[in-house]
């Protein structure tokens, strides 16, 4: 039985811990000037994972906040997946050298899947966390600005054939709004895609949402805003892991 993983998110702009609403850079809230401080709080509370997103890097197309990754990786024992601006072989190597356990890949797995599959074959599928951003069951890329004609189910099946089984899925309509996650979408994915380890992302507003995601068979949940806004406490989260 796989453990249900609680994965707090730290989103980075200018080296600070921020959150956006629905991926909109103009709707930015700064929660802490010091991401290491936030990461240490998670670790002290018994959390073992961290989803670290370089929003500057995602916008620029190359990693910008590598120093923050290095700092958190060297001063905590958290298992970090890092994403945002990973486009080249050099960048993948850089973030692994800086201490990331996994590289988080999104748009690149759509735009240049051959390169992504090469990385999977070189480093192993367990070194990658694949992100599927979804709008009306279709994959969206490029910071959610562009919806493709690729169905989320086809995208996931194709990647599972390449041995990428851990995929996190964000319903764009829900992200950063604290209105509850896309339970129905996740149920459909888990029913249709055999062998997937699905991590829910976006929309969590309270601990009941987390429990519901665990009950339908998700392998974990990425939570950002709900923690920073005090809607979910770390103690509550820990109790769902221990149940």
CB 55 within 8 A of CB 48: no
Alpha-carbon span 126 to 226, nearest angstrom: 28
Q: Which of 54, 56, 81, 133 is catalytic?
A: 133
Q: Does the structure show a pLDDT above 60 at 1?
A: no
Burial of residue 174 (number of CB atoms within 10 Å: 0-12, 13-18, 19+): buried
Backbone phi and psi for residue 38, each to the nearest 5 degrees, phi listed first: -65, -45
Q: Which of 11, 54, 171, 209 is catalytic?
A: 11
- The CATH number of residue 29's host domain is 3.20.20.70
* % of the chain surpassing 70 pLDDT: 95
CB 102 within 8 A of CB 81: yes
Quick one: average pLDDT of 82-104?
Answer: 97
11 is catalytic: yes
pLDDT in tens, 212-225: 999 999 999 999 98
pLDDT of residue 183: 95
pLDDT in tens, 131-176: 999 988 999 886 656 789 999 999 999 999 999 999 999 988 776 6
What is the count of structural domains for the chain?
Answer: 1
Quick one: average pLDDT of 189-203?
Answer: 94
Residue range(s) defining the domain that contains residue 186: 5-242
């Amino acid at each position: 039985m796989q453990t249900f993983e609680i994965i707090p998110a730290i989103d980075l702009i200018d080296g600070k811990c921020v959150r956006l609403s629905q991926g909109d850079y103009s709707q930015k809230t700064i929660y802490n000037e010091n991401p290491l401080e936030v990461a240490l709080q998670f670790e002290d509370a018994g959390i073992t994972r961290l989803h670290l997103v370089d929003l500057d890097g995602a916008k620029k197309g190359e990693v910008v906040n590598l120093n923050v990754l290095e700092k958190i990786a060297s001063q905590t024992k958290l298992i970090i997946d890092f994403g945002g601006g990973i486009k080249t072989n050099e960048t993948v190597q850089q973030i692994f050298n800086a201490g990331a356990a996994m590289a988080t890949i999104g748009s690149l797995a759509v735009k240049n899947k051959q390169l992504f599959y090469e990385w999977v074959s070189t480093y192993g599928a367990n070194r990658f966390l694949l992100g599927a951003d979804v709008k009306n069951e279709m994959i969206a890329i490029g910071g959610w600005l562009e919806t493709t004609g690729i169905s989320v189910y086809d995208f996931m099946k194709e990647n599972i054939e390449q041995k990428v089984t851990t995929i996190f899925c964000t319903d764009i309509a829900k992200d950063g709004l604290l209105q509850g996650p896309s339970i129905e979408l996740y149920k459909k994915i888990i029913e249709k895609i055999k062998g997937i380890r699905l991590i829910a992302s976006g929309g969590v507003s309270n601990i009941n949402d987390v429990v519901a995601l665990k009950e339908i068979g998700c392998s974990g949940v990425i939570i950002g805003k709900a923690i920073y806004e005090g809607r979910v406490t770390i103690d509550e989260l820990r109790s769902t892991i221990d149940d």
